[in-house]
């Protein structure tokens, strides 16, 4: 009797359906609890003060960057508690070998400077002091989806907000690769944002 693929195909369809259900449940959880930390201190009072200021600024401008800097500890708290921000994932780049890795993998030298695990193992300790890199490398695809929705919504709060312009700025700001940048643009296009 010749092989009939129908049963295997139906089993495959059911498996994919189950896996996609897991993705949907994760996204539903994220949708429900997105940015709840903004409703409590130390974030609430900071967002009360700065949301109107940010609304009146142009995303990525020097004025905007100044406001972000002034948000200080409360914004740091927000990033630490919300994985849809690249800043949540502390990543480092070595200026010598250009490796990128998480802060957990980057040992601290005798001068409290993070070191490249590759370069420091070869004796290039002081020369390999690391520079912060894009936390996007630490994100999951689910984090990226929530991040993109967050960028769209945040842009809508600015009088001159534009998701395409935000993508360009964030590509540079977070060191987003060309490939991921194209995926983000394609997603915005498909969703007609």
The series of mean pLDDT values per 10 residues for the chain, 193 residues long, is 96 98 97 96 96 92 91 90 89 66 55 62 50 74 97 91 94 90 98 96
pTM: 0.77
Phi, psi of 40 (to 5 degrees): -130, 160
Q: What is the pLDDT of residue 73?
A: 87
Q: What is the pLDDT of residue 107?
A: 54
Chain position carrying tokens 């974030």 = 43
Q: What is the pLDDT of residue 126?
A: 45
Q: What is the pLDDT of residue 84?
A: 96
Q: What is the pLDDT of residue 128?
A: 47
> How confident is the model over 29-76, as pLDDT tens digits?
999 999 999 999 999 999 999 999 999 999 989 999 899 989 988 998
Say how many residues make up the chain.
193
- The strand pairing partners of 93, in sequence order, are 100, 131
Euclidean distance between CA atoms 93 and 102, whole angstroms: 9
At 92 the three-state DSSP class reads strand
Q: What is the pLDDT of residue 135?
A: 79
Phi, psi of 91 (to 5 degrees): -120, 160
């Amino acid at each position: 009797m010749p092989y009939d693929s129908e049963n295997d195909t139906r089993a495959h369809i059911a498996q994919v359906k189950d896996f996609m259900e897991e993705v949907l449940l994760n996204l539903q959880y994220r949708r429900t609890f997105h940015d709840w930390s903004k409703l409590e201190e130390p974030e609430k009072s900071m967002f009360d003060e700065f949301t109107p200021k940010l609304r009146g600024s142009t995303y990525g401008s020097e004025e905007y960057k100044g406001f972000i800097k002034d948000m200080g500890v409360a914004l740091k708290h927000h990033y630490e508690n919300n994985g849809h921000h690249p800043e949540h994932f502390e990543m480092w780049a070595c200026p010598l070998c250009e490796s990128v890795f998480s802060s957990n993998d980057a040992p601290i030298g005798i001068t409290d400077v993070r070191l490249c695990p590759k370069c420091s193992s070869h004796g290039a300790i002081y020369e390999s002091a690391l520079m912060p890199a894009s936390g996007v490398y630490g994100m999951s695809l689910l984090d990226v989806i929530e991040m993109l929705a967050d960028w769209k919504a945040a842009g809508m709060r600015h009088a001159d907000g534009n998701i395409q312009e935000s993508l360009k700025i964030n590509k540079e700001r977070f060191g987003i690769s060309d490939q991921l940048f194209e995926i983000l643009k394609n997603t915005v296009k498909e969703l007609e944002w």
